[in-house]
Structure 1
Amino acid sequence: MNTASAVLDVLHDRREALVEFLQRLALAESPSTSSAAQQPALAQLAEALGELDFMTRLLPGQRSGGQLYARPRARRRAQTAQLLLGHIDTVWPQGTLATMPVERDGDRLRGPGVYDMKGGLTQMVFALRALRELGLEPVVTPLVFVNSDEEIGSRESTRRIRRLARTVNRAYVLEPSLGADGRLKTARKGIGRFTLTIKGKAAHAGLNPEAGASAILELSHQIQHLFALNDPAAGVTVNVGMIDGGIGPNVVAPESRAVIDVRVPSHEAARQVEQAIRALTPVTPGVSLRVEGAIGRPPMERTPAGQQLWHMAQTLGLELGLHLEQAAAGGGSDGNTTSQYTATLDGLGPVGDGAHAHHEFVHIDRLVERSALLALLLLAPPLPGTPAP
């Protein structure tokens, strides 16, 4: 029996244990906004990794529940490493289980966070467990990093992700796959958030409106300029998603504000859009503009090293009977960060649907095969020409 068949057989035998683990993880609600609520789910992961003879450490957070870091106790100091990356936080507030319970329906498991991304974390545990059961030790040491603030921008954990990404040979990101056919994500758009604040001059709207300068009128002009930056053919989206301003209906508005979401497919597009936003100039006499913000998550572009990793996954998938495809995603992840420093393969998590939606679910049978794929990827030799200790 070859390695692929052996791994798949072990995971098929552990199918019910895998489902039970994911159910428990989903029942431990872990919203991004509650550090305390995240601890039971992090503890479940730490316990599972400890049973696999990993040394685990919870790195404390100041504004989050912290991060879980784990490595094999028996790691050889000079051995090349690979990163398994995920997040424990979900977008769902505490108490969501009352209206969105964890339920099994045939081949589907439903519940908050099962798809994004506790299913991927479960696959990680069981891929490592299958290798241990078969006595198969990766020649590239697996390191585990799980943060608790990914859904709110990874502001606290990004510096540690960067530090790890600079030292590893490759990164496997356990975010959910793309689409019903489970495509792997080899490119992601960069994400920016900008705030445009306009200062005008207040005046009585009936007695002397000409003495004022309306920040709301100016905002209406700037919104049109911002939407004109959209370029669907190039994959650039600029969206004014929130606006506010004014102090009363009978007052010429002295201030207004807009919050802008930017998605860009490349570093060059990021530079051009950011430059255009910062170059906005007033149309209305007597007003001033202030732009704050930046591209917070850089684009994950296809690189030679990343494509080499993708082709390796595609080949290993065939050994499991999987015909994998690659895709670009409009949303961001911590894979955007790792891809700046090392070969990165994202979307290795479950096949299902409903990220951030009430119908969230995963396909149970696909959890098994995706765990097997991850196990084979962990066994692969190091990529040439990528970071090593």
Structure 2
Amino acid sequence: MMRFKGTDAFMTKSNWFDSQTILDGIRRWVEIETPTDTPEQVNRLISVVAEQYRDLPVTLERVAGVDGCGDHLAARSTWGQDRPGILVLSHLDTVHPMGFIERLPFKVEGDSAFGPGIYDMKGGAYIAHHAFRALCAAGDRSPLGITHLFTSDEEIGSPTSRKLIEAEGRRAKYVLVTEPARDGGKIVTGRKGVGRFEVFIKGVPAHAGTRPQDGRSAIRELANVILALEAMNDLARGVTVNVGVARGGTRPNVTPEEAYAEVDLRVPSFADAEEFVGKILGLTSKTDGVTVKVTGGLNRPPYEKSNAGASLYEHAKSLATEIGFELVDTHTGGGSDGNFTAAHTATLDGLGVDGKGAHTHYEQIYVSSLEPRARLLHRLYQTLR
């Protein structure tokens, strides 16, 4: 286990980015399991992270968790906070349930290091912290102030951290998101917007054998709704609609009185969001005596590649070339906390480590990506103005 306090005097600038040193730090974070719905575990890791900032020139703000979620932590450099600076966004919660580490213990096999949440996104969260520590160890002060925000609820849509993220994002000049790299190390410069909806259908129950004419089937109407939703898919436009949960009824001999569904929407632009959110919320019943009620809306706005975001990417690409690797950008359908900031602040996502298997039983990072990705974050701190 890596010990941070008192190590600066023994670390030269050259070995700050030693892969094994970074991996040791990541391991400590990974071995504290942090399911979103287990706030005491998330808070345990938040406390470890806060302690690792104690000897650095930062002020710490810990925001108490609410609604069953853990705390959030903001580490702010003691310099540059009087003007817009750099906001680093990381989440410490994972999708894996408690005890999953017994199924997926931390281990290293060749170039891969395994563990729950190691790729999404403890590896990325840690290298951003490590890069800041390297900056401070060299006695440097970045041109802009740096705020690293660690949140506890990203994996469930950031319900308790969204306002905090948006407020910090509007104060910043740049936002760097440490979600994992994509497809062999690609950076993310665009994400689809995400909508979530619930469909509630109310019919009329009846005995399905003796009085079928008296009934109005909620499940039959749900089938109509599902067909209407599926027909909204337009892969050419990048719009996807998925009915991921459907249920209803009580017994096979009862005309079902109630049915329910949960729907996921992904849209590439704000114009698409307005169109398809309206269509989904406007769904109505095709059956007399049956009601359809749809609730929900856009959970994460689209993250479109703005001119400022493109300029930030080009800067990062040039830094990567100096370090010795090619940085390619991509657009992805998955949402992140970067969706909340991209509309008003230059945002660069996917700055975490490379690997594969997010949310799976084989989740892993590539050890060879640790040094170059940590160096890239370090150089972004040093050069953004």
Q: Which of the five TM-score ranges fits, normalised by the shorter chain?
A: over 0.9
3-state SS of 1:104 partner = strand
Q: Which amino acid aligns with 1:366?
A: S
CA contact (8 A) 1:242 1:259 kept: yes
Match of 1:97 in 2: 101
Counterpart among 119, 132, 135 of residue 136 in structure 2: 132
Matched ranges for 1:132-281 at <5 A: 132-180=136-184, 182-281=185-284
Structure 2 vs 1, CA of residues 106 and 145 (structure 1 numbering), >3 Å: closer, same or farther?
same
> Shift of the alpha carbon at 1:40?
2.4
- The alignment's TM-score, normalised by the length of structure 2, stands at 0.94
CA contact (8 A) 1:198 1:289 kept: yes
- The alignment's TM-score, normalised by the length of structure 1, stands at 0.93
Q: Distance in 1 between matches of 2:228 and 2:304?
A: 27
Q: Distance in 2 between matches of 1:79 and 1:279?
A: 44
> Shift of the alpha carbon at 1:280?
1.6
For residues 288-335 of structure 1, give each alpha carbon's deviation from its aligned partner in whole angstroms, at most 9, with x where no partner exists: 110100011111011111111111111111111111100011110100
CA contact (8 A) 1:215 1:254 kept: yes
Q: Which amino acid aligns with 1:61?
A: G
**Which 5+ residue runs of structure 1 have no aligned equivalent?**
1-6, 383-389
For residues 233-286 of structure 1, give each alpha carbon's deviation from its aligned partner in whole angstroms, at most 9, with x where no partner exists: 111000011111112111111111111111111111111111111222222222
Match of 1:55 in 2: 59
Matched ranges for 1:66-145 at <5 A: 66-73=71-78, 75-145=79-149
Question: Taking every aligned residue pair, what percent have the same amino acid on both sides?
Answer: 39
> Shift of the alpha carbon at 1:79?
3.6
Q: Distance in 1 between matches of 2:59 and 2:305?
A: 33
Match of 1:373 in 2: 376
Q: Distance in 2 between matches of 1:15 and 1:237?
A: 39
RMSD, aligned CA: 1.4
Counterpart among 356, 360, 364 of residue 353 in structure 1: 356
Match of 2:70 in 1: 65
Counterpart among 315, 321, 333 of residue 330 in structure 1: 333
**Which 5+ residue runs of structure 2 have no aligned equivalent?**
1-11
Q: Distance in 2 between matches of 1:373 and 1:320?
A: 7
Q: Distance in 2 between matches of 1:45 and 1:77?
A: 21
Note if 1:15 corresponds to 2:19: yes
Q: Distance in 1 between matches of 2:111 and 2:242?
A: 38
For residues 329-361 of structure 1, give each alpha carbon's deviation from its aligned partner in whole angstroms, at most 9, with x where no partner exists: 111010000112201000000000110011111
3-state SS of 1:51 partner = coil
Q: Distance in 1 between matches of 2:277 and 2:80?
A: 45
Large movers: runs of 4+ above 4 Å: none
Counterpart among 36, 40, 52 of residue 40 in structure 2: 36
Structure 2 vs 1, CA of residues 79 and 286 (structure 1 numbering), >3 Å: closer, same or farther?
closer
CA contact (8 A) 1:11 1:371 kept: no
Q: Distance in 1 between matches of 2:270 and 2:222?
A: 28
In the alignment of these two chains, the number of paired residues is 373
Q: Distance in 1 between matches of 2:83 and 2:295?
A: 43
Q: Distance in 1 between matches of 2:158 and 2:84?
A: 26
Q: Distance in 1 between matches of 2:220 and 2:81?
A: 63
Q: Distance in 1 between matches of 2:384 and 2:178?
A: 20
Q: Distance in 1 between matches of 2:48 and 2:32?
A: 9
